[in-house]
Structure 1
Amino acid sequence: MFLHTISMTEFLVGVFVAEKLAGILRPLALALQEKGADLVKALDLINAVRTALHQLRSESEEEFAPVMTGVKAAAEEMGVEVAKPRLVDRSSYRANAGGSEASIDGYYRLNAFIPALDHVLQDVDLRFGKHMQLVAGLSTLVPKRIATVGADWKRLHSAAILPALPRTHR
């Protein structure tokens, strides 16, 4: 049963998509786990990762081609045929992105690659959104940072002018 599962095209596509995303996320993960990590450098790396993921998303056709090449090579090595699952032409309970007329590459790009990119982008935005960028601006007030790098006044200004919080009625 395990051999059958790992020889399915869906599994192979998932593994190769995860490998592509892990290659982008690994430097960020290492930087965030580093002892004595600099918050501002980490946020710059987060922005670089976010930009790379957005570029993958906008150029998904070109970026997914090497993924499918790897899937096809692994499937050939395992003696498995690369195929998409059986699809109905009309589904009333859920969307069939690509439907039965899409190619195998197009089907997996629409149903595996793009949703995985969207999920990772959403997770990065939730974890390191604008609030983290604003708080990082306050790190320019740390004396060590001012002495070595110099104050980044744009970040400090954006952090100091926080949006006004609504007043509560007493």
Structure 2
Amino acid sequence: ETFNSLFPVVVELLTNLMKMKDRESSVRSNLFYGAISSSEFLCSFPILNKLLSFTTNVARSLPNSKIDLMTCISNIEDILQGIQMKRNEPDEEYKYLFEEAQDLAKYTETIIKMPRVVKRQINRDNIPASSAYEYFKLNIFIPLLDHFIVAIFIPLLDHFIVAIFIPLLDHFIVAIKDRFSEHVKKAAAISCLIPEHIADKSYDDLLPAIELYQKFLHCSTAQLKTEFVLWKKRWTDIVTEDSFTSLSSYSGSNPNTVNMKRKEQVFLPDK
């Protein structure tokens, strides 16, 4: 885009350099001027400028350390779709690009024309065409579109997914497993304090959770052990009492437990 905007200035500079008495400067500037005034360059330049404009946002975002990977992949896919749309209907876009090439040719005072075509051509594409307009569309515009799609963006997308995105996901999964699996195991030990589970638990079963939350516990190990014992005794007694009450209620409503009740009465000590 910058070179495109400076093209008139570059042409003027090379024109002035060709008039210099210094032979080396004059010869080199003449070679450069011949290159930028050729029909192949004048037609290729607007096409490349257009195609590269698709990549500007992605090129700026890739070096960013805070890059959003999903957004970047989405942007590459959007670029592929955009170029594919141009490829499916090339005539409309090419019309404006060829007009732009003709405008550039005015600065170099040249006419866009077909190169000499021979039957056997090995150094460049040689698709038959009836005019310069048709020739550069078939031999430059469409092949460049295909090259961008097949040789650049699809491998770029594949490389981005395989070399960056998937390894990052793998690293994230492994890090999650390594970090949180151990964390969860330690944190789960606090379930020992749940009344319905505490009956068959010991202080040692609670130790992983105590180690994990040590900085939040403002008491000694002896105090923790004492609190655990008291907490366990309290809920063990409550659970036992509830169980006895439930059994008594069941026995009172069941005729089959009469003998059991009598036996209980026999063994009750005198007060």
Where in structure 2 are there 5+ consecutive unaligned residues?
1-30, 174-271
- Residue 48 of structure 2 aligns with which residue? 18
After superposition, residues 60-139 of structure 1 pair within 5 angstroms as 60-88=90-118, 90-91=119-120, 96-97=126-127, 99=128, 101-122=129-150, 123-129=152-158, 132=161, 135=166, 138=169
Name the aligned partner's letter for residue 128 of structure 1. Answer: L
Give the CA deviation at 1:92. 7.0
Which whole-Å CA distance do the structure 1 matches of 2:121 and 2:67 have between them? Answer: 51
Name the aligned partner's letter for residue 67 of structure 1. Answer: L
Relative to the length of structure 1, the TM-score reads 0.71
Give the CA deviation at 1:2. 1.6
Which whole-Å CA distance do the structure 1 matches of 2:147 and 2:52 have between them? Answer: 13
Residue 5 (structure 1) aligned to one of 24, 35, 38: 35
Give the CA deviation at 1:138. 3.7
Which whole-Å CA distance do the structure 1 matches of 2:86 and 2:104 have between them? Answer: 23
Q: 1:64 to 1:136 in 2, by over 3 A?
A: farther
Name the aligned partner's letter for residue 112 of structure 1. Answer: I
Give the CA deviation at 1:51. 0.3
- Residue 162 of structure 1 aligns with which residue? none
Which structure's CA Rg is the greater one?
Answer: 2
Count of matched residue positions in the alignment of Structure 1 and Structure 2: 138
Which whole-Å CA distance do the structure 2 matches of 1:48 and 1:92 have between them? Answer: 36
Q: 1:28 to 1:131 in 2, by over 3 A?
A: closer
Runs of 4+ in 1 over 6 A off after TM superposition: none
- Residue 35 of structure 1 aligns with which residue? 65
Which whole-Å CA distance do the structure 2 matches of 1:131 and 1:31 have between them? Answer: 13
Q: Between the two proteins, what is the percent identity of the paired residues?
A: 25
Which whole-Å CA distance do the structure 1 matches of 2:66 and 2:52 have between them? Answer: 23
Relative to the length of structure 2, the TM-score reads 0.46
Where in structure 1 are there 5+ consecutive unaligned residues?
143-170
Q: 1:117 to 1:126 in 2, by over 3 A?
A: same
Mapped contact 2:125–2:139 kept (Cα < 8 A) = no
CA RMSD after TM alignment: 2.5
The 3-state SS of whatever aligns with 1:81 is coil
Give the CA deviation at 1:137. 9.6
